[in-house]
Structure 1
């Protein structure tokens, strides 16, 4: 691929190449390569390994943490019926975070070397290689780093017994999100709502990339006016 005189060699590690695309990075990264081959990011084997995560690691690592959070909340006095609205609010909060991250961080416009490089690592790689199954879910270390400030923020804003339950609900929402996202790319749903969600998400990848930022739900796209045009979003992919 040639942009501003710079050619990205797809047969070499990509991460430290894409920054050189400058203003043409945006166009390049949104021209997807649909292949199940796994592109190489780094020449260093250890760094390369850190970028690859199999999907089932997400529920295996984080569902026990969800259970631990709910257990703490119960031990602090909440009953099971009281947990329902707390966990539900956490899941709803996650859908808002999911939408906001996807729209404002993962789709930020970049043109500088390091901006392009960081964006490619965060999300650009997924748009360039949407079928890369090892870079579709968040690496656990990255998730843990993001979780820490949210844990402390919730404890500042609400009762000590409620915060763990809301956090657990948010974490459960994240697990549902990452597993759903993987399934929408690699599964073959034949019935709604999964079939609709797959069509909705692939529409974002291949047709209207500045709309349709919700993964598990189109709720916030509806509220904030980023719903794709009706005719486009219902076309078959």
Structure 2
């Protein structure tokens, strides 16, 4: 007897369901449901609360950390000019990290129960529900976990005086990325660079989901050959995406 394919029930907590999709998960998660109300993730209210983050929490939490890191570098001997250059260098490094994380981690293909579950929590939920405003930016606790290996890398590759400011620049790049990403989904840029970026993100979600991994810039998509050959011609209320 052939068993029926597993179907996700959106009226029930969703996280521990998606793993059962197996090989069908990849196709399912890239079929967007464009409503502003996202699904419930967990039955437990506390766990559910941890999945929801207002966009303004990101600069509120991390900008003071950026300032603190730059101050550490100046206390360790960097001049203001050297600290500023280190911050700029960190921002540049972040643009590459942004691309690599999005392409190789956030879009990793999974089929196992826990692989699907992890991916849905990390990024799949954003593709399935792109207008869920409370699950677009990264919760600070999740960011702190991802920061640990990045901080280690900066310490290994630079001097004790430079590493904090360099890492602070990377963190500033991340804050810019998360706030920009939120704006592209929930703001209404009508012209200029904001319009270009929104069109690019719209293309990634609804047309060519295996290309266009840059959010704040398409530079690395050009470098690594993942710039989409065709793009949506204009910003519209496609599938309700404004």
Aligned to 1:110: 110
Distance 2:108 2:187 in 1: 28
Q: How far 1:150 sits from its partner (Å)?
A: 2.0
The count of corresponding residues between Structure 1 and Structure 2 is 234
CA distance in 2, matches of 1:233, 1:74: 46
| C-alpha deviation, 1:78, in angstroms | 1.4
1:196 aligns with 2:193: no
Deviations 1:146-187 (A, max 9, x none): 212322332222111110110000000000000000000000
Alignment of 1:46-85 (within 5 A): 46-85=46-85
SS at match of 1:159: coil
Aligned CA-pair RMSD: 1.3
Checking the alignment, whether the CA contact within 8 Å between 1:4 and 1:21 is kept in structure 2 is no
TM-score in terms of structure 1 length:
0.95
Structural mapping, 1:13-92, within 5 Å: 13-92=13-92
What are structure 2's unaligned runs of at least 5 residues? 237-242
Shift of 1:233: 4.6
CA contact (8 A) 1:211 1:228 kept: yes
- Cα distance, 1:88 vs. partner? 1.0
Do the aligned partners of 1:4 and 1:24 also contact (CA within 8 Å) in 2?
Answer: no
User: What is the CA–CA distance in structure 2 between the aligned matches of 1:4 and 1:15, rounded to whole Å?
Assistant: 20
Distance change >3 Å, CA 95–CA 5, structure 1 → 2: same
Q: Distance in 2 between matches of 1:60 and 1:236?
A: 30
Alpha-carbon shift at residue 131 of structure 1 (Å): 0.2
Query: Helix, strand or coil: the match of 1:109?
Result: coil
Partner residue in 2 for 1:155: 155
Ranges of 4+ aligned residues in structure 1 off by more than 3 Å: 233-237
Q: With structure 2 as the length reference, what TM-score do the two structures score?
A: 0.93
- Equivalent-residue separation in structure 1 for 2:84 and 2:173 (angstroms): 14
Give the Cα–Cα distance (whole angstroms) in 2 for the partners of residues 235 and 132 of structure 1.
22
